Amino acid sequence: MVIESEIPQFTQWIGLAAVNWLIALGCLGVIGIVFGYLVATLRNGPAAALGIALKVVKNGIADLAGISPRRVMALARLAVKEAIRRRVVVAFAVFIVVLLFAGWFLDPSSDDPARLYLGFVLTMTSYLVLLLVLFLSALSLPADITSRTLHTVVTKPVRSSEIVLGRMLGFAAMGTGLLLVMAVVSYFFVVRGLNHTHVLADDDLVAISQTAAAVDGEVTRTGLTSRVHGHRHKVTIDPAGYDEVDSANGHRHSLKIDRAGGKPVYRLGPAEGMLLARVPVYGKLRFRDRDGKDTEKGINVGDEWFYRSYVQGGSPAAAIWTFSNITPERFSDGLPVEMNIGVFRTYKGNIEKGVFGSLSLRNPKTGLTVETEIFESKEFDTKEVFLPREIKSFSSAQVIPRQIVTAEGEQTIPPPDQLDPTLAEKNEFGLYEDLVADGQVEVWLRCLEPSQYFGAGQPDLYLRASDASFMLNFAKGYLGIWLQMLLVIGFGVMFSTFLSGPVAMVATLGVLVGGMFSTFLSDLAKGAVVGGGPIESLIRLVTQQNVMTEMDPGLRTEVAQMFDRVLEYFLLAVSAILPPFREFNYARYVAYGFDISGDLMLVRVLSAAAYLLPVFLAAYFFLKTREVAR
């Protein structure tokens, strides 16, 4: 799974995030006061404008401090009843109908049916719920104002802040209930759709060879199970008791043999290994070039996407991950490594055959490097390798120093006078005795075939520490949809306080779509996008110029780049204001079988709250101003 931005640690994130949020909130407050002062100046003149603006702020603070939970709950119940009257249940009916027909189109015989099913239910639920609350939150308040239904409410002792908060809570409660039902139905839909088993009869098994070694008159036999969901499993029955069912389509089955009768009866269990929540341990990635020196990046093979760097095959080049906190308590049996790397071929050759590579473990203190695994890799095919605690079988062992090029010159770690080549002269190595130093170990990935390349990003290789609960991870995926729903409700209610229904809906949709691309807007403003800024990119598009080459020098180029520098500030402001909706979407984590960490959830929950508070304050002041104007 591709993770382009590093997963934040809550303790490291909260301090700077809180400071930035307070600064942003203060700036928005100042901007609001200045804007209110200008409006009051146009209406009442500059002499009275300042007093009016300060009075509005003072009354607003008193109004917010006097919010009555009882009145808010009453207004929230009215919002729920209104949502039901607007036939919100139609959305749930559409959801059920889509699920009923989804079984016709979802192919359980695909390479990874779990990813297909989970991605479908999470994406469909997200679209339905977000569209529902978009229409509901943006159109509700303008419709009440037009029909003068709101006039009945404001004649009661109800504050504007309570109206806004009641609407938000009511729509959120309705959406939460609908989302809970959808989550339960989706879970059982996925489990039922993926659940299957196979049949294996004794007649389906044949001896591997006539000369196979026999145990108690029996020989090793192999065969195929029945075809279910478009696939079969190869089964090997060993008379010594080492029975095996090969994995297929991302899962395997357990096998039990009942030998009580005449013929053995084979019973295969349900599918295993499809619905996972891996807990990965990520390392810090660096590269080693073909001259054996450390670099931050590998080779660029011409890909416009810089997520992966490449290492040259048949050379000392390597991608190196440094893992910390490696202890016998965490990994008692060894290191379970999983990787999903890219392969770049300079010549095709046998395209069905993979490219050979190797994995090595290195002690960062002594330099002892043991090549433990030779494997055949195919592009983006997940490879599982277990590096045991006692390494008795290995391809090579040597002491390799780390060479770092600095401004002062080349530095070698460990220094040449501290290298001990005799460390590599053992017949077997202990993981914690020989290769782990102060809880750290390096995993080296090399490509063994000349003229071929391996590409890797930091999350492409990790240690699989354990597996968390899939059901809990599935719930976390729906929690991400819930956070997106709350943000859409907040912006929809805010825009509806001063815009007409259709305009408020378009504005909310603009925030939603813009938030999906907030990271791209930020990269565009920082000049991190290939092809230049907006104006330069437009020129390239019209003139059909390659984005990888520099534009021709001249007045046109200078003017375009000048306007792009001006637009940078606007794009940065927009990307900072818009909530990053894409970061609240956890469908990839659930579908690819990765646990959503508690740190990530806590960061996103607080981020959503940080956006909702100023949105609520803005909605209150907009509604208050609208009532005063009326």
Q: Give 553-609 as a DSSP string.
A: PSHHHHHHHHHHHHHHHHHHHHHHHS--GGGG--HHHHHHTB---HHHHHHHHHHHH
Predicted confidence band of residue 209 (pLDDT cuts 50, 70, 90): low
Q: Give 495-540 as a DSSP string.
A: HHTTS-HHHHHHHHHHHHHHHHTHHHHHHHHTT-STT-SHHHHHHH
CATH code where residue 425 lies: 2.60.120
Q: Tell me the pLDDT of the chain averaged across its residues.
A: 86
E-assigned strand segments in 129-283: 199-200, 205-207, 214-215, 218-219, 221-224, 234-237, 244-245, 252-258, 265-272, 278-282
- Residue 488, in any domain of the structure: no
pLDDT in tens, 282-304: 999 999 999 999 998 999 887 76
From the list 194, 270, 196, the residue with the least C-alpha distance to 591 is: 194
Q: What is the pLDDT of residue 600?
A: 92
Strands 214-215 and 284-288: unpaired
- Residue 295, in any domain of the structure: yes
Tokens for 367, please give them.
């330099």
Percent of the chain with pLDDT over 90: 38
Q: What is the pLDDT of residue 329?
A: 92
- Residue 5, in any domain of the structure: no
- Residue 169, in any domain of the structure: no
Query: What value does the mean pLDDT take over residues 229-238?
Result: 88
State yes or no: cis peptide before 414, omega within 30 of 0. yes
The length of the chain, given as a count of residues: 630
- Residue 107, in any domain of the structure: no
pLDDT in tens, 21-52: 999 888 888 888 888 888 888 878 887 888 88
- Residue 248, in any domain of the structure: no
CB 71 within 8 A of CB 162: yes
- Residue 507, in any domain of the structure: no
Q: What is the pLDDT of residue 81?
A: 83
The set of residues, in sequence order, having a beta carbon less than 8 Å from that of 598 and lying 6+ positions away, is 10
pLDDT in tens, 568-603: 888 888 888 889 998 999 999 999 999 999 999 999
Grouping H, G, I as helix, E, B as strand and the rest as coil, residue 334 is strand
Number of H helices and E strands in the chain, helices first, is 14, 27
Residue 549: pLDDT over 70: yes
Query: What value does the mean pLDDT take over residues 409-429?
Result: 88
Query: What value does the mean pLDDT take over residues 61-81?
Result: 86
The lowest-confidence range among 66-75, 329-338, 545-554 is 545-554
Residue 543: pLDDT over 80: yes
Distance CA 36, CA 57 (A): 10
State the total domains in the chain: 1
- Residue 354, in any domain of the structure: yes
Tokens for 426, please give them.
């053992």
pLDDT in tens, 241-286: 677 888 888 888 988 888 776 678 888 889 888 899 999 999 999 9
Residue 540: pLDDT over 90: no
pLDDT in tens, 116-156: 999 999 998 998 889 888 988 888 888 777 766 665 665 56
Distance CA 206, CA 237 (A): 10
Gyration radius of the chain over CA positions: 31
Grouping H, G, I as helix, E, B as strand and the rest as coil, residue 293 is strand
Q: What is the pLDDT of residue 67?
A: 87
Predicted confidence band of residue 525 (pLDDT cuts 50, 70, 90): confident
What type of residue sits at position 93? A
Distance CA 445, CA 485 (A): 42
Which residues in 392-423 are b (16+ Cβ under 10 Å) and which e? eebeebebbbbeeeeeeeeeeebeeeebeeeb
pLDDT in tens, 345-367: 888 777 778 899 999 999 999 99
Residue 555: pLDDT over 80: yes
From the list 242, 244, 241, 219, the residue with the least C-alpha distance to 233 is: 244
Q: What is the pLDDT of residue 441?
A: 96
The residue segments making up the domain with residue 309 are 280-467
Predicted confidence band of residue 626 (pLDDT cuts 50, 70, 90): low
Percent of the chain with pLDDT over 70: 94
